[in-house]
Structure formats: C-alpha cells, structure tokens
Amino acid sequence: MRVHGFLALRIIRQLSLAYEIGDSDVHVSVSVGIAIAPEQGVELECLLACADAALYRAKASGKARAIFCTPDEAALVNIAA
C-alpha cells in the first residue's frame, strides 16, 4: 500500500501546482479516495463506491489528502452490491 499512497501524494502535488489562466495563476486542491483490487473488490462498481467513501473522508479531513478505503467501508459496499 505504500506505493499506492506515494503515487497518490505525487498526483496531489502535481495537480496542486499553479495553473496560468490568462493573466492569473489559479490554485486548486485535490483529495483522493483509494480502493485496491482485489482486497476491496474486483467489480468496478464496488471499487468506485469504496473509493468514493474514502474520498468523502479525505475531503472531511482537510485539503490535499489521500485516504484508503477501510475494510469496514469495503464490507458495506460489498453487502450493498
């Protein structure tokens, strides 16, 4: 999981660089929810739901966060599927 977290942080850092639009520099912040196959599912819908749950926690934790789907979230997603 370390590789996934490192990759997510690199993505956040790259996307958080300033964008030049016209005469202005625009800054954005990015949060990432991460689901790992096959640990949290193999079907696209399950993985997306798990990543979405993690994304909501990432946004609630502050800006520029990467959060992994928890086993509890994965279990809830798989029960609902």
The whole-model pTM stands at 0.80
Judged against a pLDDT cut of 70, whether residue 81 lies above it is answered with: no
Whether pLDDT at 80 is above 70:
no
Mean pLDDT of 6-32: 92
Are 12 and 6 in contact by the 8 Å Cβ rule? The answer is: no
- Digit-coded pLDDT (tens) for 51-63: 999 999 999 998 8
Radius of gyration of the chain from its Cα atoms, rounded to whole angstroms: 15
Q: Report the mean per-residue pLDDT for the chain.
A: 90
Q: Which residue has the higher pLDDT, 77 or 51?
A: 51
